[in-house]
Each structure stands twice: as C-alpha cells, then as structure tokens.
C-alpha cells in the first residue's frame, strides 16, 4: 500500500471538542494577537516591525529595516494561518485585512519579481551573496506556502501570482546552466514550498527547482565556502567548516543520521519525502527512511521534541536526551509533523502517523498557553525555576513569554493548528485512510462519486471512535483505520459485526474493503490504560525512571499539585494508578492519581553528605497532560519520575 496522497483532498471540517477549542483560540486570540505583535502593538513585548518593513519596502513609509534578516517570514506564517482559519471559518473582516497585506506585498515586490524587505531596504546590491546566513530563500518559501494556502482557501489568485512571479525570478537565478548560481539555502524551506507551488500551478519548473536545491546540497567544493570567499568574508562562526549544521556535509541520499539545526533538517526531510512520493525515487525513499529511523529511535523525546542541544538549536548525538537542558524548539516538533505527514505520502505505515499524533498532542501545543497569549520557544521535560539562572540552562524559561525577537514559533504553531483538517485523512485511489482520531466531517471522491465520512470521538480522553460512512450510492472501496502503536487492545466492528483484526491489519492499518452503503457504521475501541514508559538503556538521564502515558498523551507532575523538590518523588512499581476527568481543571483534562513515596527532607538533617539514607513518607501524586503544564502557578515540572521496586 504505497504513495498515499495527502494533498488532493480538501480539509476536513473539525468538530472535535479538544481541537475545536484550540482552533477557536487561534482564530479569536492568537491571530489577532500576532497581528498586533507584527505591528508593534503589544506592550512590554519584543518589537517586530515586520509590517513596517514591508511599508518601507513598498515606499509607503520611510525608515530603516528592523529585526532579524528573516523577519518577513513572520508575516508569511501569519498569512498562512489566516488562510487556514478562513478555510475553517469565513471572516470577511479578517480576509479584508489579509488582502490589504497582500496588496502591500505586491507594492513591495520588484519589477523582476524579487520580494525581500531586508535586501530591498538595507542591502539592495547584495542579493544572493549570503545564502548560508541570510534566509532569502527561506523567506521566499514561507511566502510561497502562504500564497498556496490563501489561494485554496479563498480562490483568489493575486498572492499566488505574486509568488509565482517571484519563483520564476528565482528559477532564472539558480541552476547548473550558464551563469546561474549553483547554490542552495542555509535554512531549508523553499524546497517544500516549491513543491506546493508546483501542485497548485502545475508548473514543472518549480518541482525541478526544488530537486535542484536538494541535489546540490553536500556537493564539494561546498557552495557556502565559494560564496564566502566571493564576498570577502573573513569572519568566523561556529558553523564555518561544520557543514552538518546546514545538513550540507554529505549529499542528502548519503546522510545516515540527523545532524545540525533541527528545524532546517526536518524541513529538508519533508521536501525529500515529497519528492520521493512524486518522483518515485528509491534513493530518496531509502534516505528518508534511514533518517526517520535515526530520529525517532535515537534522537526524539517521548513528547516528540527533537533537537536536544541549545548550541545551534541542533541534534546532538544518539541517545543524548537531557531533560532539564533540552532545547526541543516548538518549531522542530511542528516540522516533525510536516515530515510525518509527507512520509505517509511515501508509504502507508502507521509509524509515521503515530509520531505525527505524538507531536500534535505533546511537543507542539505545549508551546502555547491554553489562552493563546503566551508562548514557549523551548519545551523542556524538567524545570526547576531557579536553575534557569545557570548559563547552560539560560534557554529554559519557567514561564511562557509574550513574544520573541526571533518569533518563528508562535505563527508556526498558529498555522499548524489552523491547518489540522489537512492531517486527519488521506486517499490513494479507492483507499481512504484515517490517520488521526479527531471528530470531523470529510467528503471524498471515490470512483466519481462523493462519500461523506463523519467521525465522532472524545479522543484523547477515551478511545471510543465512531465513523459513519455515507456514499451517494452503494460502492466498493476501502476504509483504512490506524491502530495506534501505543494501543495493545482494540476491537473493531462494522454495523455491529466484529471484524477479525489479524485478517485486515497491514503496517498498522485496518483495511476494511466492502460495498459501503449509506449509514454504515464503524466502531473502533482502543483501550487506554495508564502506561509506565521506560527509555532505552542508553538514555543515561532516564535510567531508573519512568514516564506516564495514557493514549497519545504524555503526563507530567507539577509543583502546584505535588509540592516542591519533585526529584524526591519515587513511584513504586506496584503503586496503583487511577484516572478521573476534571472538567474544571485546565480546560477539562483526565488526571492521573497515584500513591508515591517522597524522601523525607526533614529527616535528613543539615549535613550535605551522609552515610545515613533518608527515610521516605507516603506522597499522593497528581499528574496532568504535559501540554497543559505552566498554566497555573509557576513552579517545578517533571516528566521522568524515579521508580522504586
């Protein structure tokens, strides 16, 4: 079962109670808040100046460029989030604002198609002279993604035409022919964006340009050295002669392990997976699978956070997964979702959807307060607030921030949540896949007729999933439902008739092929016991520790519920654990309760070291979903707990 299309299908209408809240918060709070931030209208927050940069570039204002060289991308991601929000919930006023921004982009665009405020305002004579550091192609890619999303949401072509003009210009600049530049971006993004532009316009040259950027990477002599010498740059940075930071140390098909900046890596892997699915390249397919295996089996946190190292926001080495110094940028988990979705386009294997789900419910939404007004750039698995004073843990924030000078994560999270309807289902020929269990309505075209699918569930709080299939006429096709990797006990019925699972299970999907008629009902029940998860023995930080997981959710303990010094808690192996749903806590969550033991600090005395072991006392514990931590009183947080015999 290969090459599952994840693009042709329209977005599902999300009706899910859990995710509807998030989508509503993004629509009503995050998008307006980020619009204010882009316009420097958030008191006591880092200024953005991003919209003002476009006004200056368009000739509507005077002044100097302000912000990061990639400041344009914040506007692009905001526009993309708006597009997906309009797709879900039409809003004439918001659409009008977006149209005004698009008009501004058109005015800022050069006659040749070029569109980048940093170079237009600050260094107009230095275009394409520092591909390694200055994010021109990265910003272009984000604008392209936004344009495609806006076109699909509204049917309006202006933004798409603006970015097609820019892509045509870029295609005239880069390549192997004649005097074109044989370079590639330091921060990958345009590679996957060009593929989306190709799919929206049908122009093959965009696909070929994406292939060019992917295939040039890792060739010697390294282009970054060539351009550095050409501009007379004698400065030194940590990534000089460290091509792995940009995933340019080897040709992509020869790379065996994930190295370097984590977001750049997963964006590139996403493009590689798309190209593998479209072109059928076995080399790219094998490379994607090799890199996937390395990431998820050796370099991924239980929360689906990736990029453990603060230095370079990067992958470190296999099994190096510190909890209290982890970097795990929100954008990196978001990029992992992108990559997982695209791997499903290469092969229908539930392992990809499992990781996509893990990231969605844990490592991404942890990056935002439940009210959508504050954000984490970094998502640690252990926090002791006073330790953030240490230089080696300065990146660990005990509370979320209003905004960031480098504000890539908040708009990235907004566009992901708003686009959720594109991740639930996919289709290949007459097979309709259900990857995620999210209440929704989806219409698909199977052999020329429309089929409506309605999914109802209280996921992730319980594992009861009901699907109603409504074809226009009776039709034979296949409905494929994922069996999550965390589930060891499932039952499946169609119209009340039990299905023998081993007969229909392939690579983690139940394949139900039958003649479907209107009103057919599928019931999938996934057992959701509390699981004690252990880490691989080579993860040094977690030896003798366990994490609690229930269904797709990873849990943590917080100081507000369990007192300070969480490192003194020990959970006996035979401790009984139970759950209860609290509708008034943190927006309504299932809580895990249990009886642990705590080292009695009072019995220790004042000695720093002693040959007398501290006594223990009973200590009830209360664990909450990881995504919801830091929404009450600030304090300690812990995912991995000590375990005793």
pLDDT, mean of residues 144-156 = 97
**Confidence band (pLDDT; 50, 70, 90) for 7?**
very low
Token pair in block for residue 68: 């990061």
Cα separation, 378 vs 133, whole angstroms: 22
Tell me the sheet residues that pair with 442.
Answer: 453
Q: Are strands 431-434 and 475-482 parallel, antiparallel or unpaired?
A: parallel
241 phi/psi in degrees, rounded to 5: 60, 15
Catalytic site residue from 408, 409, 556, 630: 408
pLDDT, mean of residues 616-638 = 95
Q: Is 556 a catalytic residue?
A: no
- Residues 105-125 pLDDT 10s: 999 999 999 999 999 999 999
- Say yes or no to pLDDT of 3 above 60: no
- Say yes or no to pLDDT of 5 above 50: no
Confidence at residue 244, expressed as pLDDT on a 0 to 100 scale: 93
Q: Considering Cα of 70, then 74, then 80, then 84, what sign does the dihedral take?
A: positive
Catalytic site residue from 87, 313, 558, 597: 313
**Confidence band (pLDDT; 50, 70, 90) for 1?**
very low
- Say yes or no to pLDDT of 385 above 70: yes
Cβ-based neighbours of 486, under 8 Å, separated by 6 or more? 354, 531, 549, 551, 552
- Residues 280-338 pLDDT 10s: 999 999 999 999 999 999 999 999 999 999 888 899 999 999 999 898 999 999 999 99
Burial grade of 62 (CB within 10 A; 0-12, 13-18, 19 or more)? exposed
- Say yes or no to pLDDT of 15 above 70: yes
Q: Is 630 a catalytic residue?
A: no
Cα separation, 299 vs 320, whole angstroms: 7
Confidence at residue 387, expressed as pLDDT on a 0 to 100 scale: 79
**Confidence band (pLDDT; 50, 70, 90) for 149?**
very high
- Say yes or no to pLDDT of 240 above 80: no
- Residues 583-609 pLDDT 10s: 999 999 999 999 999 999 888 888 999
Nearest one of 331, 381, 337 to 359, comparing CA atoms: 337
pLDDT, mean of residues 469-485 = 96
22 phi/psi in degrees, rounded to 5: -65, -45
Nearest one of 349, 619, 347, 599 to 482, comparing CA atoms: 349
Confidence at residue 8, expressed as pLDDT on a 0 to 100 scale: 57
**Confidence band (pLDDT; 50, 70, 90) for 446?**
very high
Please report, rounded to a whole number, the percentage of residues in the chain having pLDDT higher than 90.
Answer: 83
**What DSSP assignment string belongs to 192-216?**
HHHHHHHHHH--HHHHHHHHHHHHH
Task: Name all domains of the chain by residue range, CATH numbers in brackets.
Answer: 245-423 (no CATH), 425-526 (2.60.420), 530-644 (no CATH)
**Confidence band (pLDDT; 50, 70, 90) for 404?**
low
- Residues 36-74 pLDDT 10s: 989 998 887 778 899 999 999 999 999 999 999 999 999
Contact assessment for residue 641 and residue 571, using Cβ atoms and an 8 Å cutoff: yes
Q: Are strands 497-498 and 490-494 parallel, antiparallel or unpaired?
A: antiparallel
Residue found by looking up tokens 């989030």 in the block: 81
Largest CA distance in the chain: 79
Q: Which of 35-39, 457-461, 469-473, 547-551 has the lowest mean pLDDT?
A: 35-39
């Amino acid at each position: 079962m290969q090459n599952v299309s994840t693009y042709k299908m329209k977005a599902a209408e999300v009706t899910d109670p859990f995710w509807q809240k998030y989508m509503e918060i993004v629509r009503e709070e995050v998008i307006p808040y980020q619009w204010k931030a882009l316009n420097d209208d958030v008191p006591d927050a880092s200024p953005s100046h991003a919209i003002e940069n476009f006004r200056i570039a368009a000739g509507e204002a005077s002044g100097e460029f302000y912000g990061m060289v990639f400041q344009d991308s914040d506007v692009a991601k905001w526009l993309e989030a708006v597009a997906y929000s309009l797709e879900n919930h039409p809003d004439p006023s918001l659409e009008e604002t977006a149209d005004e921004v698009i008009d501004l982009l058109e005015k800022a665009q050069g006659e040749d198609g070029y569109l980048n405020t940093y170079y237009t305002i600050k260094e107009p004579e230095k275009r394409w002279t520092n591909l390694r550091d200055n994010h021109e192609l990265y910003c272009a890619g984000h604008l392209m993604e936004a344009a495609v999303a806006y076109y699909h949401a509204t049917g309006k072509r202006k933004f798409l035409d603006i970015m097609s003009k820019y892509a045509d210009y870029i295609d005239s600049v880069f390549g192997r022919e004649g005097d074109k530049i044989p370079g590639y971006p330091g921060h990958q993004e345009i590679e996957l964006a060009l593929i989306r532009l190709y799919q929206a316009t049908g122009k093959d040259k965009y696909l070929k340009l994406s292939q060019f950027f992917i295939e040039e990477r890792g060739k010697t002599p390294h282009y970054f050295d060539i351009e550095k010498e050409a501009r007379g740059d004698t400065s030194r940075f940590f990534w000089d002669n460290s091509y792995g930071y940009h995933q340019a140390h080897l040709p992509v098909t020869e790379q065996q392990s994930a190295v370097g900046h984590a977001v750049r890596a997963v964006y590139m892997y996403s493009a590689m997976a798309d190209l593998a699915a479209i072109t059928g390249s076995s080399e790219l397919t094998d490379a994607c699978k090799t890199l996937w295996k390395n990431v998820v089996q050796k370099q991924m946190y239980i929360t689906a956070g990736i990029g453990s190292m603060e230095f370079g926001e990067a992958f470190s080495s296999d099994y190096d997964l510190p909890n209290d110094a982890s970097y795990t940028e929100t954008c990196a988990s978001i990029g992992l979702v992108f990559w997982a979705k695209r791997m499903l386009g290469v092969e229908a294997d539930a392992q990809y959807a499992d990781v996509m789900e893990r990231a969605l419910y844990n490592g991404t939404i942890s990056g935002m307060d439940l009210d959508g007004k504050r954000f984490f750039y970094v998502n640690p698995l252990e926090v002791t607030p006073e330790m953030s004073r240490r230089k080696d843990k300065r990146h660990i924030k005990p509370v979320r921030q209003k905004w960031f000078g480098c504000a890539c994560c908040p708009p990235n999270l907004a566009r992901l949540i708003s686009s959720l309807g594109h991740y639930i289902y996919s289709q290949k020929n007459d097979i309709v896949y259900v990857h995620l269990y999210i209440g929704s309505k989806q219409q698909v075209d199977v052999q020329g007729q429309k089929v409506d699918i309605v999914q109802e569930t209280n996921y992730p709080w319980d594992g009861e999933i009901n699907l109603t299939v409504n074809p226009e006429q009776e039709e034979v096709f296949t409905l494929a439902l994922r069996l999550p990797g965390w589930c060891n006990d499932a039952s499946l019925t169609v119209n009340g008739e039990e299905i023998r699972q081993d007969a229909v299970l392939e690579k983690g999907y139940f394949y139900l092929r039958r003649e479907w008629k209107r009103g057919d009902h599928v019931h999938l029940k996934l057992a959701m016991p509390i699981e004690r998860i252990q880490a691989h023995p080579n993860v040094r930080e977690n030896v003798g520790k366990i994490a609690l997981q229930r269904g797709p959710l990873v849990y943590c303990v917080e100081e507000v519920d369990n007192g300070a010094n969480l490192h003194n808690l020990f959970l006996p192996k035979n401790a009984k654990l139970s759950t209860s749903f609290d509708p008034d806590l943190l927006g309504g969550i299932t809580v895990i309760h249990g009886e642990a033991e705590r080292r009695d600090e009072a019995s220790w005395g004042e000695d720093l070291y002693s040959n007398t072991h501290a006594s223990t006392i009973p200590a009830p514990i209360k664990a909450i979903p990881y995504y919801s931590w830091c929404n009450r009183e600030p304090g300690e947080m812990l995912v991995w707990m000590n375990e005793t015999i």
